[in-house]
């Protein structure tokens, strides 16, 4: 019978467990010194060795010939636990046995002593799936169990376990395994299986495993017969780092045609476009780390080839552009499952990242500014690169050496002065005569500086929309504002009540650069004429590209302003609509 690799090569001793030495060493010491706890809690992500360590511990505490805290796996008890013939070790799946009755059954059984083993061991996997009643039933049992009973709880979501349960267990947290640890384990298994896989494929498998040894062995079974790295990528359905770097470079240079081509290739090759969004997010995360951290290679588990490619790409992006790209990718990943057209959603996401000017959000504006600043830093002027903004200023002595002598500056200024003055010089004043202190006459009129005479300009009469009695003179100038619904929708984004009032109970007229919002009753007029409401009206007008209009609020009707059906006359020639 064929066994899956993760079952065939499951560790049988603590020393075989990969990457969890901080836990296995402690458990071995407890078994060797007979200082066992009555309850253990193993926490960690899937495939990190929780259940495996629980099974090893159950054999170690019952082994007839333990070796430094390790089970011998040769005695009668160890073999019985391995083949399942000894029922003193029970493994329970809490996902399917999560009721109160299941825990009550355990509580009734633990009063009996074990049949063949020294301890009764209950391994409860995915314990966070127990119901609230089941946790309450387990609580007292965990607090004071019989001396011959050991509970081992395993979970991937420790935050869902009540604090009362946590406080009664000895907790061990299993960490994710690094790519190096998983790669080493893969090489060992490949050697035992007499198979050869190239180094890039092994690293790809270790990366996709995401810290899980079990997942890495499952993936390895799929690619163990592949002939090349490209074939392994095709089998696993991944986009590939090379293509992802090419997409990122196309984004940096705003090559939209290449982005459409990438999406087209992935779509017709039946690739999962949501996987592309996730993998591209990881690439931009790496770019941010490389660009912002001094020693990114310490926490980026990447090969030297990947690090070189990331450093080269990071120079083409600004900090703001990378952050904007990650926010856009996060937003796309969240809404991707609800999108009716996955291809269009992926294309829109990539184009928005490549061209932040397509979006009017604040993040896109910051991204554009950062992109421009990054381009300015790389511009060369006369063969000299522009200095970055944080470059230290030269010393004062060096500045003085560069500055020309003062005499030369004066000569240059004199040469640049225009000899013929546009304004004729004023005549010199004669010496002022001496007068007594009591009588000081004003200076002679001929020496008073000439005062420019302002030519009176008749001001155009201002059109006052209210009161209504003066409207008859300007009948043809006032027209009804047909775009009031758009203005009301824009106001509704800030104030729903004010937007509803504007849309349902108000009308508006305009005359050149004046807009008057009209109310038919006193209550609506009082609510609309407040400074806060007027400010929101102005903001809504500017959002609809009507800038520079004077906003007023009046109580009245449109017929008081527009006396005849001239509302629709000459619309295309009216400046208000700004037709191109």
The predicted pLDDT at position 373 comes to 66
The predicted-structure confidence for 209-219, as pLDDT tens digits, reads as follows 888 999 999 99
Longest dimension (CA), the chain: 135
Q: Is the pLDDT of residue 70 over 70?
A: yes
> Are the C-beta atoms of 151 and 39 separated by less than 8 Å?
yes
Average pLDDT for 365-388: 57
CA–CA distances in Å: residue 522 to residues 199, 297, 519, 553: 81, 70, 8, 12
The predicted-structure confidence for 419-437, as pLDDT tens digits, reads as follows 444 445 555 555 554 544 4
Cα(481)–Cα(517) distance, integer angstroms = 9
Q: Is the pLDDT of residue 397 over 60?
A: no
The predicted pLDDT at position 121 comes to 95
b/e per residue, 86-100, with b = 16+ CB within 10 A?
A: bebbebbebeebbeb
Cα(537)–Cα(345) distance, integer angstroms = 34
Q: What are phi and psi of 270, to 5 degrees?
A: 60, 35
Rg (CA), the chain: 41
Please name each of the domains of the chain with its CATH number: 5-173 (3.40.50.300), 179-236 (1.10.8.60), 241-380 (1.20.272.10), 468-560 (3.30.300)
b/e per residue, 30-62, with b = 16+ CB within 10 A?
A: bbeeeeeebbbbbbbbebbbbbbbbbbbbbbbb
Average pLDDT for 183-193: 91
Average pLDDT for 141-156: 91
The predicted pLDDT at position 546 comes to 79
The total of other beta-carbon atoms located within 10 Å of residue 159's CB is 8
Q: Is the pLDDT of residue 443 over 90?
A: no
* Runs of H (alpha helix) within 432-569: 484-492, 496-505, 522-528, 531-543
Q: Is the pLDDT of residue 138 over 50?
A: yes
Q: Regarding predicted confidence, which is higher, 227 or 144?
A: 144
Q: Regarding predicted confidence, which is higher, 217 or 454?
A: 217
Closest alpha carbon to 146 in 99, 96, 112:
112
Residue 258 burial (C-beta neighbours within 10 Å; 0-12, 13-18, 19+): middle
Mean pLDDT of the chain: 79
Q: Is the pLDDT of residue 516 over 80?
A: yes
The predicted pLDDT at position 275 comes to 87
Question: Whole-prediction pTM value?
Answer: 0.59
Which pair of tokens denotes residue 391? Answer: 């470059």
Residue holding tokens 């000459």? 570
The predicted pLDDT at position 335 comes to 87
Q: Is the peptide bond before 303 cis (omega within 30 degrees of 0)?
A: no
CA–CA distances in Å: residue 570 to residues 78, 478, 513, 567, 577: 97, 12, 17, 9, 11
Positive or negative torsion for Cα 268, 274, 278, 281: positive
The total of other beta-carbon atoms located within 10 Å of residue 120's CB is 24
Q: Regarding predicted confidence, which is higher, 542 or 333?
A: 333
Read off the pLDDT band of 376 (50, 70, 90): low
> Are the C-beta atoms of 296 and 322 separated by less than 8 Å?
no
The predicted pLDDT at position 451 comes to 55
Q: DSSP letter for 531, please.
A: H
b/e per residue, 6-20, with b = 16+ CB within 10 A?
A: beebbbbbbeebbbb
Average pLDDT for 549-573: 68
Range with the lowest mean pLDDT among 131-135, 410-414, 521-525?
410-414
Closest alpha carbon to 87 in 62, 67, 70, 64:
62
CA 338, chain centre distance (Å): 19
Cα(151)–Cα(130) distance, integer angstroms = 15
The predicted pLDDT at position 151 comes to 95
Average pLDDT for 301-324: 87
Cα(183)–Cα(175) distance, integer angstroms = 16
The predicted pLDDT at position 422 comes to 45
Average pLDDT for 220-224: 86
Closest alpha carbon to 115 in 74, 82, 144, 76:
76
């Amino acid at each position: 019978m064929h066994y899956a690799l993760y079952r065939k090569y499951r560790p049988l001793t603590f020393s075989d467990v990969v990457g969890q030495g901080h836990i296995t060493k402690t458990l071995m010491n407890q078994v060797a010194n007979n200082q066992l706890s009555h309850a253990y809690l193993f926490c960690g992500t899937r495939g990190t060795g929780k259940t495996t360590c629980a099974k090893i511990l159950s054999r170690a505490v019952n082994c007839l010939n333990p070796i430094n805290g390790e089970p011998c796996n040769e005695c009668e008890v160890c073999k019985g636990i391995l083949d399942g013939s000894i029922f003193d070790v029970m493994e329970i799946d809490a996902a399917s046995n999560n009721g109160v009755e299941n825990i009550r059954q355990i509580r009734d059984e633990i009063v009996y002593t074990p049949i063949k083993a020294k301890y009764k061991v209950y391994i409860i996997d995915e314990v966070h799936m127990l119901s609230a009643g089941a946790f309450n039933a387990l609580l007292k049992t965990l607090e004071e169990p019989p001396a011959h009973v050991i509970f081992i709880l395993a979970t991937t979501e420790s935050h869902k376990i009540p604090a009362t349960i946590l406080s009664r267990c000895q907790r061990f947290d299993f960490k994710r395994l690094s790519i190096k640890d998983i790669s080493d384990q893969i090489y060992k298994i490949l050697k035992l299986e007499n198979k050869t896989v190239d180094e890039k494929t092994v690293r790809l498998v270790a990366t996709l495993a995401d810290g899980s040894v079990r997942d890495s062995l499952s993936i390895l079974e799929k690619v163990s017969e592949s002939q090349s790295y490209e074939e392994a990528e095709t089998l696993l359905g991944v986009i590939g780092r090379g293509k992802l770097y090419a997409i990122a470079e196309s984004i940096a240079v705003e090559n939209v045609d290449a982005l459409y081509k990438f999406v087209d290739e992935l779509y017709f090759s039946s690739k999962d476009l949501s996987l592309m969004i996730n993998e591209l997010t990881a690439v931009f995360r790496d770019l941010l780390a490389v660009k912002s951290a001094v020693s990114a290679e310490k926490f980026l588990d990447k090969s030297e080839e990947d690090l070189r490619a990331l450093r080269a790409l990071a120079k083409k992006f600004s900090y703001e552009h990378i952050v904007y790209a990650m926010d856009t990718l996060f937003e796309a990943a969240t809404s991707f499952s609800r999108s009716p057209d996955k291809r269009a959603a992926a294309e829109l996401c990539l184009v928005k990242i490549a061209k932040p000017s397509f979006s009017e959000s604040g993040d896109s504006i910051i991204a554009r500014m950062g992109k421009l600043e990054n381009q300015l830093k790389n511009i060369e002027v006369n063969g000299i690169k522009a200095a970055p903004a944080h470059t230290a200023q030269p010393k004062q002595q060096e500045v003085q050496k560069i500055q020309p002598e003062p005499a030369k500056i004066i000569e240059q200024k004199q040469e640049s002065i225009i000899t013929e003055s546009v304004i004729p010089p004023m005549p010199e004043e004669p010496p002022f005569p001496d007068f007594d202190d009591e009588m000081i006459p004003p200076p002679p009129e001929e020496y008073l500086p000439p005062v420019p005479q302002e030519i009176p300009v008749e001001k155009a009469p201002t059109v006052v929309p209210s009161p209504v009695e003066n409207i008859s003179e300007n009948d043809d100038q006032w027209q009804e504002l047909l775009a009031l619904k758009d203005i009301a929708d824009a106001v509704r984004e800030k104030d729903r009540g004010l937007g509803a009032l504007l849309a349902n109970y108000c009308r508006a007229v305009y005359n050149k650069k004046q807009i008057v919002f009209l109310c038919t009753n006193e209550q609506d007029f009082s609510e609309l004429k407040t400074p806060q409401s007027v400010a929101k009206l102005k903001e809504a007008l500017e959002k609809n590209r009507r800038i520079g209009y004077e906003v007023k609020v009046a109580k009245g009707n449109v017929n008081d302003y527009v006396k005849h059906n001239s509302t629709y006359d000459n619309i295309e020639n009216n400046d208000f609509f700004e037709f191109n």
